[in-house]
Amino acid sequence: MRSLLSAVLIFISLPGWASPWSFGEKLTVAENLDRKVFQHIDATGRKSIAVAGQTLAVIWEDNRSGAPQIYLAFKNLSTQKFSKNRQISTGRSAYAPQILALSDDLFLIGWEQDDAVWLRTASASQLGPAISISEGKAAQVALANVNDRNIVAAWSQQIGEFSQIVTATVKVNAKNRLTRTKKPQPIESKPPTNDQLYPDLIAGANGVTVAWEDRREGHTAILYSHAAIDKSFAVPQALNEIVQKSEKYGRGNGVTRVALAALGADEIGATWMDKRGFQTGYDIYAAFSHDSGVHFGANELVQDAFADQYSQWHPAIAGASNPTRVVVAWDDDRDGSSSIWLAWKSGSDWSENISPPAASDTDKQQTNPAITLDNQGNLHLIWLEQDNENAPTRLMYALGRYSGKSQPASLR
């Protein structure tokens, strides 16, 4: 009955409206035929896919070796096949890899391994040496580049009883080797009073902005802080609008898993899961900054009315400039099984939601999207696919091309 209702609603919404995105056939990044092997796309900020020049790279974790390790696959933008998977991690166990495009065919990968944060460069032809940049127990690394050779990393560092968000800077030399240039420094000098988790960050000529989950008030909030280059971070501010304590919300509405995207020289987009509409679980919200992350504006509901009765999961965001474009992806089961859904800004409004045909098979489960936009404005999408909830996963990819039929995003 729910599938039929969703189909009717979607049918009603379509006349007079056509998506500016057209998607090609799905490709397999990593096959998995073993029920005991689990693939995970769980980067902080959901940054598990990147494009550098003509090379696309995908990073994930799975336990095919008997322990969780990090794997990487490449694809030239002009081809229809991914490379053989390469193992990136070197320790007993590894989790939560994030990938960052540096320059043509060159990427930086960060991950947590044996309670430390590790980095290494990678291209289709060569892997750089792996280095650890953390001190003490550390997890959940996020990466951003001020430019091609100067990197800022943020992660969750254990400080006594609780974890705290710290940042450090890293230099990439001419031989693509890495050196940590500044020791890890906490965003706040005072010790944490509860956990700070899952950071994401954006860096550029105007400074660094970090956002994270924070539990200091007894409920989870998304906080953010900005620092000009070589300056201290400002006092953290709340990104999500806080619903006041009540019998309905307890200490506050639940929020989780923030992701950031650069949309231009001064503009940043943020998305996260938010339970302020508590009756149906998480919704997807977004907010925008027009001053490089010093301030963010009002919260905006991303999904359309046809998703009102369903929970949304795993939001990812991608952005581009010239023209300004912002896309958010997530998964929900409004059509009776879990599918990948997209929304984008057209003018000042969020679009009606679409589910790419390659990622909306109602006989399968499609979850955990990650996205990026290339310099031509094409959308690169990965996700996990299962024949049913208990079946092995497959890591899949599809390319979306933009027709240009809708307005550039207006973020003000």
Helix, strand or coil for residue 210?
strand
Longest dimension (CA), the chain: 60
Helix, strand or coil for residue 10?
helix
Cβ-in-10-Å burial (0-12, 13-18, 19+) of 308 comes to middle
State the DSSP string of 393-405.
EEEEEEEEEE---
Within a domain: 293: yes
Task: Please report the pLDDT score of residue 177 as a whole number.
Answer: 96
Question: pLDDT at residue 1 above 80?
Answer: no
Cβ-based neighbour number of residue 255 at 10 Å: 25
Within a domain: 407: no
Do residues 71 and 61 lie in contact, with contact meaning Cβ atoms separated by under 8 Å? yes
Within a domain: 271: yes
Nearest to 165 by CA among 142, 132, 147: 142
Within a domain: 9: no
Angle at 55 between CA 51 and CA 56, to 5 degrees: 50
Task: Please report the pLDDT score of residue 322 as a whole number.
Answer: 74
- Taking residues 184-208, what's their average pLDDT? 96
Asked which of 19-33, 96-110, 250-264, 354-368 is least confident by mean pLDDT, the reply is: 250-264
Structure tokens at 131: 């280095």
Question: pLDDT at residue 182 above 80?
Answer: yes
Q: In whole angstroms, what is the distance from residue 338 CA to residue 368 CA?
A: 10
Run of H or E residues at 155: strand 150-159
Range of the domain at 75: 26-402
Helix, strand or coil for residue 8?
helix
Within a domain: 299: yes
- Taking residues 4-16, what's their average pLDDT? 38
Question: Which residues fall within 8 angstroms of residue 221, CB to CB, at 6 or more apart?
Answer: 213, 214, 215, 238, 239, 240, 242, 252, 255
Question: pLDDT at residue 169 above 50?
Answer: yes
C-alpha separations of 14 from 54, 127, 154, 306, 353 in Å: 35, 47, 42, 12, 10
Residue-averaged pLDDT of the chain: 91
C-alpha separations of 52 from 95, 100, 148, 156 in Å: 23, 9, 11, 27
Within a domain: 207: yes
Dihedral (Cα; 72, 76, 77, 78), 10-degree rounding: -150
Structure tokens at 145: 């580049």
Question: pLDDT at residue 357 above 50?
Answer: yes
Question: pLDDT at residue 404 above 80?
Answer: no
CA atoms within 13 A on the CB side of 50: 29
Question: Which residues fall within 8 angstroms of residue 333, CB to CB, at 6 or more apart?
Answer: 310, 339
Question: pLDDT at residue 196 above 90?
Answer: yes
- The region that residue 135 occupies, defined by phi over 0 for left and psi between -120 and 50 for alpha, beta otherwise, is beta
Q: What is the pTM of this model?
A: 0.93
Angle at 139 between CA 141 and CA 273, to 5 degrees: 70
pLDDT band at 407 (very low <50, low <70, confident <90, very high): low
Task: Please report the pLDDT score of residue 409 as a whole number.
Answer: 72
Please state whether beta strands 237-238 and 21-23 pair in parallel, antiparallel, or not at all (unpaired).
Answer: unpaired
Within a domain: 153: yes
Rg (CA), the chain: 20
Of the chain, the percentage scoring pLDDT greater than 90 comes to 81
Q: In whole angstroms, what is the distance from residue 231 CA to residue 312 CA?
A: 37
- Taking residues 189-205, what's their average pLDDT? 96
CATH number at residue 33: 2.120.10.10
pLDDT band at 209 (very low <50, low <70, confident <90, very high): very high
Within a domain: 141: yes
Nearest to 121 by CA among 78, 176, 61, 73: 176
pLDDT band at 317 (very low <50, low <70, confident <90, very high): very high
pLDDT tens, 119-153?
999 999 999 999 999 999 999 999 999 987 999 99
Question: pLDDT at residue 8 above 70?
Answer: no
Number of structural domains in the chain: 1
Task: Please report the pLDDT score of residue 6 as a whole number.
Answer: 42
Helix, strand or coil for residue 233?
coil
